Amino acid sequence: MMIQAPGSPSAAPEAALAADDSPMGEAARWAVGLLTAPDLAADDVTVERFVPTFPPRRSQGFSATLGEWREKGPFTVLDYQPIAHKGWVTLAGPTGVRNTLSLTLDSSGLIRILTFLPEIQIPAIADWDALEDALRTPGVDHSVLAARLTPDGIEVLHASGADRPMPTGSAYKLYVMRALVQAVENGELTWDDEVTVRPELRSLPTGDMQDLPDGTRVSVRETAYKMIAMSDNTGADLIADRIGREAVERAVAASGHHEPALLRPFLTSHEVFELGWGAPQLRTAWTERDEAGRRDLLRSIARPMTVRGSDLGATVHRLGLDWHMTAYDVLHVLDGLRGDSARDTTGTVEHILTAYPGIAVDPARWSRAYFKAGSCPGVMMFCWLLEDGEGTAHVLVLRQSADEQKPIGDGLFLRGLGSRVVNSGLLTAKAAR
């Protein structure tokens, strides 16, 4: 890493990286050190910093990939953005080419994901037309909803395709969270009760609970936290199993989904993975059956999952293998959770919902930030509920879907657009007449 003189453009980012004493800061400094150390680190040296399932890029191991990354240096740190268990370091090489080192940590501080890719350029967003222009991509459907929640109802700031059902990936966990809160309120379980990891409930990442040994017992509180803050798929499936599919389906209807039948039977992540990328006859059966037949099909696959992450490829959301919602559905479930938090005297719900805001949020502008992302092959969505200092809530929903994953990418572009909007004045501006 090149050391800059005080006052140079990169001095502040380097100082921020050096001063961050969180697990993310320590991991980010170590990862940057891999790129800037005099010698290439061997695999037996780096392996202790990664989760056991961290996949090498090639048969030679991670060091081969690391060697290619290092060839783009020496590097200057231009930006550092840590947000809970995720972090991004922007680095410039000697020719000025910028790349982003992205990290995702598991709950123990080990690195689950580490990538080094060309920086995604996020355009300035001065108005809603600029946002729409940025989102127009060949082969990609998109929708936007920006709204203010007032005592008189929903004040729409901007909407495009907001009433169109689209796949939303992990946004389904918002409904699981609502059903869980209802179960706690009804006295059916407590936050200190436990769920048990079982083979038939184990799912694929995101998250890290899928790596826990069979029989591991985890509190409902910790599992719900991971479900929302880390979008833990296995955690969500454990909660859904504990409270029951029908409870989640009731939460969908109670949250104001425009057509609850679209989410019946309500799928777990395990089921979407198994149906979507398992045996082809499962997809055929799913598309041909009615609701009762689909419930029978789900009972037939209540077993350890056969699908692996490497099996995910072709999109399946057009087959109904996702969770379809309008942007207004997303708004309503977020607002429902805000009400759930207000009734929860323990502070547990608020702690879970605010643990990971997804982007850097200015606390002087926003006193509360709920966030949820969702992704699947061909699906990307981000949503926020943000409350200003006067207690007025604002909701932003950004969604993309495509028949192929490639035009959507890994979500950094959509996340960046969300950051531009949230940290601009667009959400607090007067609604267009």
Q: Are residues 79 and 173 in the same domain?
A: no
Angle subtended at Cα 112 by Cα 360 and Cα 351, rounded to the nearest 5 degrees: 45
In a domain, 286, yes or no: no
In a domain, 225, yes or no: yes
Q: Are residues 72 and 186 in the same domain?
A: no
Q: Are residues 111 and 235 in the same domain?
A: no
Q: Are residues 133 and 207 in the same domain?
A: yes
Rounded CA separation 259/343 (Å): 27
Q: Which of 73, 96, 118 is the last residue of a domain?
A: 118
In a domain, 204, yes or no: yes
Q: Are residues 245 and 150 in the same domain?
A: yes
Q: Are residues 40 and 156 in the same domain?
A: no
In a domain, 47, yes or no: yes
In a domain, 200, yes or no: yes
Residues making up the chain, counted from first to last: 433
Q: How many domains does the chain have?
A: 2
Q: Are residues 78 and 218 in the same domain?
A: no
Name every residue whose Cβ is closer than 8 Å to that of residue 82 and which is 6 or more positions away in sequence.
20, 22, 24, 25, 28
Q: Are residues 371 and 389 in the same domain?
A: yes
Q: Are residues 336 and 218 in the same domain?
A: yes
Kindly write down the DSSP assignment for every residue of 222-279, as one continuous string: HHHHHHHHS--HHHHHHHHHHH-HHHHHHHHHHTT-S-GGGG-SPPPHHHHHHHHHS-
| 329 touches 257 (CB < 8 A) | yes
Q: Are residues 354 and 255 in the same domain?
A: yes
Q: Which two tokens stand for residue 345?
A: 């005297």
In a domain, 379, yes or no: yes
Q: Which of 92, 118, 144 is the last residue of a domain?
A: 118
Range of the structural domain that residue 107 is part of: 11-118
pTM of the predicted protein model = 0.93
Q: Which of 118, 153, 181 is the last residue of a domain?
A: 118
Span 139-148, pLDDT tens digits: 999 999 999 9
Q: Which two tokens stand for residue 132?
A: 């729409």
Q: Are residues 56 and 102 in the same domain?
A: yes
What string of pLDDT tens digits covers the 433 residues of the chain? 333 433 444 578 889 999 999 999 999 999 999 998 999 988 888 888 998 877 654 446 788 899 999 999 999 999 999 999 999 999 999 999 999 999 999 999 999 999 999 999 999 999 999 999 999 999 999 999 999 999 999 999 999 999 999 999 999 999 999 999 999 999 999 999 999 999 999 999 999 999 999 999 999 999 999 999 999 999 999 999 999 999 999 999 999 999 999 999 999 999 999 999 999 999 999 999 999 999 999 999 999 999 999 999 899 999 999 999 999 999 999 999 999 999 999 999 999 999 999 999 999 999 999 999 999 999 999 999 999 999 999 999 999 999 988 888 788 999 999 999 999 999 998 765 4
Q: CATH no. for residue 175?
A: 3.40.710.10
Distances (CA, A) of 130 to 123, 143, 397, 415: 8, 14, 16, 16
Is residue 118 packed enough to be buried (19+ CB in 10 Å), middle (13-18) or exposed (0-12)? Answer: exposed
Q: Are residues 97 and 178 in the same domain?
A: no
Rounded CA separation 317/162 (Å): 18
Q: CATH no. for residue 30?
A: 3.10.450.280
DSSP-assigned beta bridge partners for residue 50: 111
Rounded CA separation 127/130 (Å): 5
In a domain, 275, yes or no: no
Span 263-293, pLDDT tens digits: 999 999 999 999 999 999 999 999 999 999 9
